């Protein structure tokens, strides 16, 4: 199975930067990184003193009763995005995670929600969930804070 790990689309971020606010109206505001913040534009950890922004983001692109929006850190200015699209982003390995899957109609696939401990094989778990015939894609979220990390689907 070929799997694609997807960061926030660059075009959506660029539209927010030019508008001066995120899609929910929060100001696009410069913030100086402390060096622990996981960035959802390129799926790595921020370096100390990097220019970042804290925005509210929803991975949905059209209205849905399943839509959830929440806080994510991104680069303040455009970055190169995430290149290793077939690899589970290293910075999110060895963490507690939630794999939150959706079916082909866009409804949550409750039977396949998966909670991962740091020592679990995260890539294997993603493969197992996406291998279920009724699962179309999944959102990987923080297992401690619930924040959205990235979207995963079959290539
Ligand atoms: Zn970035």
- Identify the domain containing residue 67 by its residue range: 8-75
pLDDT tens figures, 67-78? 999 999 999 999
More confident residue, 1 or 14: 14
In a domain, residue 63? The reply is yes
Same domain, 14 and 59: yes
Average pLDDT over residues 100-116: 97
33 in a structural domain: yes
Ligand 1 centroid to residue 52 C-alpha, Å: 8
Q: 1 CA to middle of ligand 1, Å?
A: 27
Is there a domain that residue 2 lies in?
no
Q: What is the pLDDT of residue 108?
A: 96
Region of 81 please: left (phi>0), alpha (psi -120 to 50) or beta: left
Distance 73 CA to ligand 1 centre (A): 9
Distance 81 CA to ligand 1 centre (A): 6
Q: Tell me, yes or no, whether 29 and 69 share the same domain.
A: yes
Q: How far is the CA of 113 from the centre of ligand 1 (A)?
A: 28
How many domains does the structure of the chain reveal? 2
The number of helices, as runs of H, and strands, as runs of E, in the chain is 2, 10
In three state form, how does the secondary structure of 41-67 look? CCCEECCCCCEEEEEEECCCCCCCCCC
Task: State both tokens at 67.
Answer: 């839509």
């Amino acid at each position: 199975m070929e799997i694609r790990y997807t960061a926030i689309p660059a075009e959506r971020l660029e539209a927010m930067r030019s508008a001066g606010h995120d899609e929910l109206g929060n100001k696009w505001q410069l913030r100086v990184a402390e060096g622990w913040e996981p960035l959802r534009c390129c799926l790595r950890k921020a370096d100390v003193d990097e220019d970042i922004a804290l925005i509210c983001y929803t991975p949905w692109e059209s209205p849905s009763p399943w839509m959830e929006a929440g806080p994510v850190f991104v680069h303040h200015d455009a970055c190169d995005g995430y290149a290793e699209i077939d690899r589970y982003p290293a910075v999110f390995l060895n963490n507690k995670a939630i794999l939150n899957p959706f079916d082909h109609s866009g409804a949550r696939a409750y039977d396949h929600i998966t909670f991962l401990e740091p020592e679990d094989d995260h890539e294997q778990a993603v493969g197992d969930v996406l291998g279920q015939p009724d699962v179309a894609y999944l959102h990987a979220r923080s297992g401690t804070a619930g924040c959205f990390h990235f979207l995963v689907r079959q290539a």
